[in-house]
Amino acid sequence: MKLLLDTHILIWLVAGSEKLNKTARYAIEDENNSLYFSIASLWEVTIKISLGKLELGMSLEQIMTNFILPSGLKILPIHLSHLSVLKDLPFYHRDPFDRMLISQAISESLTLISEDEVFSEYAVKTLW
């Protein structure tokens, strides 16, 4: 299965949070699954850190070097096909970063791991 991690999922993984439920944790730990993380999420994290709304205890560079790269997470760039889906996406969700994740998941046939219940309003596979 190809899984796209929502921004808060990666933050929880990096922080070692217990908020991640068993279903999501098992899917992430299953070596048969491919894990993706959107560049849009890295953008969101960067903005939140610069605004003082998020403190991770390590720099973005350290997260990349010590967590993302060794974990095998693949960074998903934003492609024109994602923007094509995004332009027609209904506005059930107003957060631009979440809307991009939904668009990427739909476009790439990825299952989106998130606790965000609004995602279920879209034609996107979710796991939580």
Tens digit of each residue's pLDDT, the chain (128 residues): 999 999 999 899 888 889 999 999 999 999 999 999 999 999 999 999 999 999 888 888 888 888 777 888 999 999 999 999 999 999 999 999 999 999 999 999 999 999 999 999 999 999 99
For residue 105 the two structure tokens come to 């998941």
Per DSSP, the chain holds a count of helices (H) and strands (E) of: 7, 5
Q: Please check whether residue 28 is in contact with residue 113, taking contact to mean a CB–CB distance below 8 angstroms.
A: yes
Q: How many structural domains is the chain composed of?
A: 1
Q: What's the CATH code of the domain at 34?
A: 3.40.50.1010
| The residue to which tokens 């098992």 are assigned | 26
> pLDDT per residue over 31-47, tens digit each?
999 999 999 999 999 99
Domain of 87 in residue numbering reads as 2-127
pTM above 0.85, yes or no: yes
Sign of CA dihedral 89, 12, 44, 69: negative
